[in-house]
Amino acid sequence: MSGRTGVRKRWWRTGMGSLLVLLLLTGCATGPALENQGAVTAEPGDSRQLTVGSAGFTESDLLAQMYARLLREAGYRTEMLSVANRELYEPALESGQIDVVPEYAATFADWLNAKTNGADAPPVGSPDLNDTMTALRALAAPRGLTVLDPGRAVDQNAFAVTAAYAKRHRLSTLTDLGRSGLKVRLAAGDECVERPYCKPGLEKVYGIHITGIDPKGVGTTQAKQAVQSGRDQMVLTTSTDATLDAFGLVLLEDDKKLQNADYVVPVVNRARAGSEAVTKVLGKLNSVLTTEDLAAMNREVDSWRRLPADVADAYLEDKGLI
């Protein structure tokens, strides 16, 4: 995944001592060596005191808050820690300084693959969820990590056009856009020129005529404004982008599954939070949380300025989970 939109707001849970933060910032840059990790073969643990990590952007904050609240309702004591850098929070997850963190299947699989096999290793994340999960779990297990089941929510790269443009040309899918023969200037990041999910994939899989890339970033305000104004015809964003309505934009369905399976998955430290009890608690979200739900909650935080904890609690209460 290229990036996350709707970020900008970072919060820190109260009551956490400075020692854990210091350890995260100074002692976990590379993580514990695989051969020294007793957690790899340890029995699944069930610590009653769990630290839930967030990657520091709105959606991760929301997911972490929901995990923490569900665990508290089940009798666990929880603390929250926001660490925006995966290079820091993933080793902390391995070492047990963080016990639970929300992740994205394909993105995390490719990150662990690069960490294990080198930056030039072929990616293992794919549009196929089963293949992606198999690869992810194989990479996570030797590090003492357990990847729980994904639910229905997915935050993956997505493409949007103006609602007026879609209506005028009768577009609802990327296949429709390819069949239309329309020439499309795409607002995206520089890497779109060569990334298989972007320009090459749109051309090969959908037959879309991309005339050029307007390098305004992934889902940025400037990129959306370029499409809104008609300078560009389409923007690369994410499937849980909460601000599309404000720019008069709508997503075109990735009906041929070009994008990787970036389903939301909880990842836990096996030795501390790998028990069936924790799995059951966190699994409660699977049957209810959707991509649309995440987008709506992102909007409440980013546009309405509500606190992630309040939005998370309201959602869980509305769904009857607490």
How close are the terminal C-alpha atoms of the chain, in Å? 32
Q: What is the pLDDT of residue 40?
A: 53
**Residue 193 is which amino acid?**
V
Query: pLDDT per residue over 11-28, tens digit each?
Result: 223 333 334 454 444 454
Considering only 6-20, 158-172, 211-225, 276-290, which range has the smallest mean pLDDT? Answer: 6-20
Considering only 6-10, 151-155, 272-276, which range has the smallest mean pLDDT? Answer: 6-10
Give the containing element (helix H, strand E) for 28. Answer: none
| Averaged pLDDT, 180-209 | 96
Measured in residues, the chain has a length of 322
Is it true that domain 157-252 has CATH number 3.40.50.80?
Answer: no
Q: Which of the four pLDDT bands, split at 50, 70 and 90, describes residue 163?
A: very high
What does pTM read for this prediction?
Answer: 0.84
CA angle, corner 307, sides to 281 and 104, nearest 5? 50
Q: What is the pLDDT of residue 10?
A: 27
Q: Is pLDDT of 41 > 90?
A: no
Q: Do the strands 183-188 and 77-82 form a parallel or antiparallel pair, or are they unpaired?
A: unpaired
Q: What is the pLDDT of residue 29?
A: 41
Other CB atoms within 10 Å distance of the CB of residue 228: 17
Q: What is the pLDDT of residue 30?
A: 41
Choose between 29 and 206: higher pLDDT: 206
- Distance CA(260)–CA(309), nearest Å, equals 29
Which single residue is written with the structure tokens 């016990």?
99
- Distance CA(93)–CA(90), nearest Å, equals 5
Q: Which of the four pLDDT bands, split at 50, 70 and 90, describes residue 42?
A: low
Query: pLDDT per residue over 71-117, tens digit each?
Result: 999 999 999 999 988 999 999 999 999 999 999 999 999 999 999 99
| Averaged pLDDT, 280-304 | 95
Query: pLDDT per residue over 198-224, tens digit each?
Result: 999 999 999 999 999 999 999 999 999
Q: Is pLDDT of 7 > 70?
A: no
Considering only 19-28, 158-167, 211-220, 311-320, which range has the smallest mean pLDDT? Answer: 19-28
Q: What is the pLDDT of residue 33?
A: 45
Cα 97 to Cα 22, 24, 144, 273, 275: the distances in Å are: 11, 8, 13, 12, 17
Q: What is the pLDDT of residue 287?
A: 87
The DSSP 8-state label assigned to residue 102 in this structure reads E
Cβ-in-10-Å burial (0-12, 13-18, 19+) of 120 comes to exposed
| Averaged pLDDT, 30-35 | 44
Q: Is pLDDT of 3 > 70?
A: no
Which residues sit opposite 229 in a β-bridge? none
Q: Is pLDDT of 58 > 70?
A: yes
Q: What is the mean pLDDT of the chain?
A: 89
18-154+261-318 belongs to which CATH class? alpha beta
Q: Residues of the chain with pLDDT > 70: what percent?
A: 87
> Could you tell me if 48 and 54 are in contact, meaning their C-beta atoms sit under 8 angstroms apart?
no
Nearest to 2 by CA among 175, 159, 118, 233: 159
CB-side neighbour CA atoms (13 Å) of 93: 33
**Residue 287 is which amino acid?**
S
Q: Which of the four pLDDT bands, split at 50, 70 and 90, describes residue 176?
A: very high
| Averaged pLDDT, 178-199 | 95
Q: Is pLDDT of 37 > 60?
A: no
Tell me if residue 41 falls in helix, strand or coil: coil
Tell me if residue 86 falls in helix, strand or coil: helix
Give the start-to-end residue ranges of the domains of the chain: 18-154+261-318, 157-252
Identical fold between 18-154+261-318 and 157-252? yes
Q: What is the pLDDT of residue 20?
A: 47
> Could you tell me if 174 and 256 are in contact, meaning their C-beta atoms sit under 8 angstroms apart?
yes
